[in-house]
């Protein structure tokens, strides 16, 4: 005889067995990335400097030369000083402009105001570039001087060789003018 509870018990056992085979719940989704942090003052300053550089490149040499003819302000704000220094560096008109650019940048580096803090990184970068540019210019000047000395030495040797050649030509001409005596005849 069968018990009436047997199908229920069998169903209950099957449910428990199948429950053990169930997958665990999925892990929670990873947290969403934080939204972009707002730009800091140094980031804004760097973007302004890059925009100024792009503007100088787009304007061309004539507009840059016109901007460089303007006199320097006595105590420009850090932003103006760094941008003016960049203009002077791009103008490449000589050591005077490099010295003016370095002076402007060093004022920004020495400035302790909050406005200058944002521009210090850009000023340090430009001072480093000025130093590298100066080193390369000195190296180029030494190379040019060595080339001049080598050219003078080569010219001097060429002149010496030409003198020797002319002397040999003179000897050859003098020998052509002297005819050897005919051999003596034997009786």
pLDDT bucket at 69, cuts 50 / 70 / 90? confident
What is the mean pLDDT of the segment spanning 112-129? Answer: 92
Least confident of 14-18, 58-62, 149-153: 14-18
Q: CA dist 74 to 78, 93, 159, Å?
A: 12, 21, 57
> How far, in Å, CA of 165 to CA of 99, rounded?
53
Read off the pLDDT band of 58 (50, 70, 90).
Answer: confident
| The 3-state secondary structure of the chain, one letter per residue | CCCCCHHHHHHHHHHHHHHHCCCCCCCCCCCCCCCCCCCCHHHHHHHHHHHHHHHHHHHCHHHHHHHHCCCCCCCCCHHHHHHHHHHHHHHCCCHHHHHHHHHHHHHHHHCCCHHHHHHHHHHHHHHHHHHHHHHHHHHHHHHHHHHHHHHHHHHHHHHHHHHHHHHHHHHHHHHHHCCCCCCCCCC
Positive or negative torsion for Cα 36, 42, 44, 49: negative
Q: Which of 14-23, 36-45, 130-139, 172-181 has the highest mean pLDDT?
A: 130-139
Q: Which residue has the higher pLDDT, 169 or 92?
A: 169
* Look-up of token digits 């030494």: 142
Task: Answer whether residue 23 shows pLDDT above 70.
Answer: no
pLDDT for 153 equals: 96
Q: What proportion of the chain, given as a percentage, has pLDDT over 70?
A: 84
Query: pLDDT category, 148, cuts 50, 70, 90?
Result: very high
pLDDT of residue 18: 67
Residue 21 tokens read as: 């085979």
Kindly compute the dihedral angle of the four CA atoms of residues 6, 8, 9, 15, in this order, to the nearest 10 degrees: 140
Tell me what the mean pLDDT of segment 159-171 comes to.
93
Instruction: Give the pLDDT mean for 5-29.
Output: 72
């Amino acid at each position: 005889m069968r018990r009436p509870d047997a199908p229920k018990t069998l169903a209950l056992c099957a449910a428990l067995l199948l429950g053990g085979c169930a997958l665990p719940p999925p892990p929670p989704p990873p947290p969403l990335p934080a939204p972009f942090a707002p730009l800091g003052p140094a980031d804004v300053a760097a973007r302004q400097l890059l925009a100024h550089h792009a503007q100088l490149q787009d304007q061309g040499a004539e507009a840059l030369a016109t901007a460089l003819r303007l006199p320097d302000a006595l105590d420009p704000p850090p932003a103006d000083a760094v941008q003016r220094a960049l203009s002077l560096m791009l103008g490449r008109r000589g050591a005077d402009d490099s010295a003016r650019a370095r002076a402007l940048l060093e004022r920004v580096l020495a400035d302790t105001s909050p406005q200058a803090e944002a521009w210090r990184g850009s000023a340090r970068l430009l001072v480093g570039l000025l130093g590298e540019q100066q080193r390369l210019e000195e190296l180029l000047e030494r190379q040019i001087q060595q080339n001049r000395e080598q050219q003078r030495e080569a010219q001097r040797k060429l002149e010496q060789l030409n003198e020797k050649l002319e002397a040999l030509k003179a000897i050859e001409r003098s020998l052509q003018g002297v005819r050897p005596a005919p051999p003596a005849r034997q009786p």
